[in-house]
């Protein structure tokens, strides 16, 4: 694996995009800011694999941590609560 575009600790944002088809970025996270907490590895792009196209370039998968209060405006739990999920690089952009 080459050096990842987003190293551990990098602030990232899930892209605000709404394409049709098999999409691997949950709706509720789009537009939200998190932080890379692990670089999982390089894998076939599931959004292409879902349509039987298996020869595409590999994509880096990241584990991203979000503050619950960032995702849910009415979150009533402790402010330190976080949510971690795995997101492919094509859905991430740098965040300030």
Partner 1 sequence: MSIDKTGHLRRHHDMGGLPAGAVDRHEHDHAPWEKRVDAIMRLLSDPKRRILKVDELRRGIEELGPGVYDALGYYERWIASIANILIEKGVIEIDELGRRMAAIEARHEAARAKGKGA
For residues 92 and 40, what is the distance between their CA atoms, to the nearest angstrom? 14
Tell me what percent of the chain is helix, strand and coil, each rounded to the nearest 5: 15, 40, 50
Residue list 73-92, contact with partner 1 (CB under 8 A): none
What is the contact mask toward partner 1 in residues 49 to 78, using x (rule: CB under 8 A)?
xxxx-x----------------xx------
For residues 44 and 18, what is the distance between their CA atoms, to the nearest angstrom? 21
Please identify, among the stretches 7-15, 19-27, 32-40, 55-63, the one whose residues bind partner 1 according to the rule CB under 8 A: 19-27
Q: Is 10 or 45 the residue whose CB approaches partner 1 more closely? A: 45
Confirm or reject binding of residue 18 to partner 1 (CB under 8 A).
yes
Exactly one of 9, 20, 77, 78 binds partner 1 (CB under 8 A); that residue is 20
What is the helix (H) or strand (E) element at residue 86, kind and residue range? strand 82-88
């Amino acid at each position: 694996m080459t050096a990842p575009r987003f190293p551990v600790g990098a602030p990232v944002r899930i892209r605000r995009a709404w394409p049709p088809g098999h999409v691997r970025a949950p709706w509720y996270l789009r537009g939200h800011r998190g932080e890379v907490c692990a670089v999982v590895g390089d894998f076939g792009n599931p959004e292409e694999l879902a349509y039987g196209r298996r020869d595409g370039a590999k994509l880096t998968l990241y584990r991203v941590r979000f503050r619950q209060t960032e995702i849910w405006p009415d979150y009533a739990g402790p402010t330190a609560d976080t949510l971690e999920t795995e997101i492919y690089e094509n859905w991430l952009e740098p965040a300030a």
